Amino acid sequence: MRVRYAWIDWAKTIAITMVVYAHVPDAPFSQLFSIFRIPFFFMLSGYLYKPRIFKEEANRMFYCLIIPYLIYNSFLLVITPPNDVPQGIVNVFMGNQEQLPGNYRAMWFLVSIMIMRLVSSLFVKHLTYLPIVSFLIYLLFKQYGVVKENNDIFQLNTTLLCFQFFIFGYFLKKNPKINILTKLSPVSNYLIIGVGFVALLMIGYNFVGPVNMFRCDTGNNFFLFLVVSYMLSYLLIRLFQLVFSKESIVVQAISNGTLLILCVHQTVIIIIKVLEIKSGVSFHPLLMPFIVLILLYMPIKLCDRYVPILIGKRKK
């Protein structure tokens, strides 16, 4: 029986909340989170990754990621202007989210995670080398402009760049020795996490600047970005392990519905903004992620019960 960790549900909930917040127009302080938001999400995905042979992984990906990806994109194509639909279909099947309207683009994460999991299943015995190889290929591609920023088929650039965070998350669970803070007292943990997090945020804000992982924009200093994003993501994971041990039905539901939220939240935000204009009522950007999560809470519960494939689950 699979063990469920409460801290992972909390971590996934906070992570998806940060992703939603990143897509809220004029959201204050969003730049502060940009340096670690996506690396943290990929680390969590790696932490949850269970190696399987390629055939098993491909079968699982088909039902848990590929079908939901196609369903959500098909839904968005229905509400897309007819003239843009043919090219939209091509870009959906090519995983080229950059060429799709803005409310499609968060699904680049699904494309990348699919590729990461499938490649990992092919090289289960050599996972240690995958982040190094992917990183070197990324640098090579970037140097020679092999993949264009606005035409990133199958999100190749972003996948190569983010692979290292996924694999680190996997080894963080597999090899507890990597989690060095576990060897220290709780007081030392809190002190290091508190001071370290604030210091790293300030370093990132002042010397790295805004980051956009979707477009492989790593700010003003690429290697400083890597150091800061790794350390911030790890400190966050350790903080959740220490603090969030109590289960919550609401948090568990949001955690289960991460895929649904990821795929539709930008469309929901657009609808809310249209309603704001028509009604004359305006919500503060800080409230928008919570409004989105509240609106999607019941759909998540209904999908979990009746259409689990829409939240990445097989039929019960």
- pTM (2 d.p.): 0.94
Q: What is the mean pLDDT of the chain?
A: 92
Instruction: Render pLDDT for 207-233 as a digit per residue (tens, 0 to 9).
Output: 999 999 988 899 999 999 999 999 999
Residues near 117 by beta carbon (within 8 Å), at least 6 away in sequence: 49, 57, 61
Residue range 91-116, pLDDT digits in tens: 999 988 888 888 899 999 999 999 99
Q: Would you state the pLDDT for residue 80? A: 84
Residue 264 vs residues 66, 69, 284: alpha-carbon distances, Å = 16, 11, 20
pLDDT over 70 (residue 197): yes
Judge whether residue 1 has pLDDT over 80: no
pLDDT at residue 316 greater than cutoff 80: no
How much is the pLDDT for 145? 80
Higher pLDDT, 241 or 81: 241
How far is 264 from 247, CA to CA, in rounded Å?
Answer: 26
Work out the pLDDT band at 143, boundaries 50, 70, 90: confident
